[in-house]
Every structure is written in structure tokens, then in C-alpha cells.
């Protein structure tokens, strides 16, 4: 079965931007439930779990159509949350560093232009979904997805994401989703994003 990656920080580590109760419920209830349901549906087809969740979603067409939508929903719910929790941290590095800084400057003009576009995208998500920074071939793009759809399904390579489902922010921000989206930029772990940039293509092979 797939297993829950360990959180690299305590439940209260993202305060004051995201509260302890939000992180606790989001991780131990929402995230955990997606994982449990994914394992259950994959067990039902005697899946051998020999490939990563990234590879499973990237090659979704290989999954039997009778369970494919459930794998998209629960596998996406598992993977998307893995990435969301992985790329946040209480780090003091507040702006891009390393290769990702170069790529952002190159593909968006500047960090400020990138940030503005990302915030516009995230604000425009209607209903439940995510905004992503992805690699399309070698170019960075910002995209939105609905529900638990993952960019991996579209052969795009995710670098980081913000979860804009209400459960991600409602306890802390109620209807003020814009404040949550703005504060998310205080939490991005740019060292981790660089690491993902270096490693994810390799992980899909």
C-alpha cells in the first residue's frame, strides 16, 4: 500500500498563516482519507504498488477504466496533498533561490510578475481546486485544476501547489480566501521546490 509521508514540521509550525487545527485536520483527516480510499480501491484490483504515486497518475491511461475515476480522485487527493504539505515550511527564505529563481525570472519576467499571476489564478478558482506551478516540457506555467485533478494526468510536471479547497483555510480565514492565498507566499519552501525541480523528472522515468 501507499503510505503517508511524514510531515517535516509540527502542526503549529505554519502559524500565524495557517493554524495548528487547520493543519492537523487537513493532514490527519482529509489527506489520510484520500490515502485510505486509494489503497482500498487499488487493493481491490490486487495492485502491487511497485510504482510511485507520481508515476501512477502520470500513466493514468494504464489504469482500468472501471476504477480510473476513483484513482484520479483519491490518488490525486493523496499526491496533491503530499506536494502541498511538502512545499510549505516555516523557513525564513521568502523568495525563490537557485535554479527555480532563474527559471521564474526567465519565464515570467520577474518574481513579482510571477507572484501576481499566481495570485490571480488562485483567486479565480471557482469551487474546489488547486493552483499549480508546473513544468510543460522545459517551460514554467501556472495552471488551475478542479477537484483533485493533478497536472500529472495532463503530463505536466508539478513543482508546487496551493490547495484552495475551503477546508485548507476556512478555520483561519473564513470567506477571506485572498488573505490565505497572499500569506501562502510566506510559507513556500524554496529549497524544497528546487529539490523537486531537480528530482521529479527522474522519478517519472
Question: Which residue ranges make up the site for Mn ion (CB under 5 A)?
Answer: 30, 163, 165
Yes or no: say if 153 and 57 are a contact pair by the CB < 8 Å rule.
yes
* C-beta of 34 vs 58, nearer to Mn ion: 34
Min dist CB 170 to Mn ion, Å, is 11
List Cβ neighbours of 149 (8 Å cut-off, separation of 6 or more).
Answer: 72, 76, 129
* C-beta of 70 vs 191, nearer to Mn ion: 70
d(CA 147, CA 83): 15
Length of the chain, please? 205
* C-beta of 58 vs 165, nearer to Mn ion: 165
Yes or no: say if 160 and 133 are a contact pair by the CB < 8 Å rule.
yes
To the nearest 10 degrees (0 to 180), the angle between helices 76-86 and 190-203 is 140
* C-beta of 165 vs 197, nearer to Mn ion: 165
Min dist CB 165 to Mn ion, Å, is 5
Min dist CB 164 to Mn ion, Å, is 9
Min dist CB 168 to Mn ion, Å, is 5
Q: How far is CA 90 from the centre of its chain?
A: 17
Residue facing Mn ion at closest CB distance: 163
Min dist CB 77 to Mn ion, Å, is 8
Min dist CB 113 to Mn ion, Å, is 28
d(CA 50, CA 127): 34
Q: How far is CA 107 from the centre of its chain?
A: 21
* C-beta of 2 vs 165, nearer to Mn ion: 165
Whose grid coordinates read 485510505? 36
Angle at 204 between CA 198 and CA 205, to 5 degrees: 105
* C-beta of 33 vs 52, nearer to Mn ion: 33
Q: How many C-alpha atoms does 149 have within 13 Å on its Cβ side?
A: 14
Amino acid at each position: 500500500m501507499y503510505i503517508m509521508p511524514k510531515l517535516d514540521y509540527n502542526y503549529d509550525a505554519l502559524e500565524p498563516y495557517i493554524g495548528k487545527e487547520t493543519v492537523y485536520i487537513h493532514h490527519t483527516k482529509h489527506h489520510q482519507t484520500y490515502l485510505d480510499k486509494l489503497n482500498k480501491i487499488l487493493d481491490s484490483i490486487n495492485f502491487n504498488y511497485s510504482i510511485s504515486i507520481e508515476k501512477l497518475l502520470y500513466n493514468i491511461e494504464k489504469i482500468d477504466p472501471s476504477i480510473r475515476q476513483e484513482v484520479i480522485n483519491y490518488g490525486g487527493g493523496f499526491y496533491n496533498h503530499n506536494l502541498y504539505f511538502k512545499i510549505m515550511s516555516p523557513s525564513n527564505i521568502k523568495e525563490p533561490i537557485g535554479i527555480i529563481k532563474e527559471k521564474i525570472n526567465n519565464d515570467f519576467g520577474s518574481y513579482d510578475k510571477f507572484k501576481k499571476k499566481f495570485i490571480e489564478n488562485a483567486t479565480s478558482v471557482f469551487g474546489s481546486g488547486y493552483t499549480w506551478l508546473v513544468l510543460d516540457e522545459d517551460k514554467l506555467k501556472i495552471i488551475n485544476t478542479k477537484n483533485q485533478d493533478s497536472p500529472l494526468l495532463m503530463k505536466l510536471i508539478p513543482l508546487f501547489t496551493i490547495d484552495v479547497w475551503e477546508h485548507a483555510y476556512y478555520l483561519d480565514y473564513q470567506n477571506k480566501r485572498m488573505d490565505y492565498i497572499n500569506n501562502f507566499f510566506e510559507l513556500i519552501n524554496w529549497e524544497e521546490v528546487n529539490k523537486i525541480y531537480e528530482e521529479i523528472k527522474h522519478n517519472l522515468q
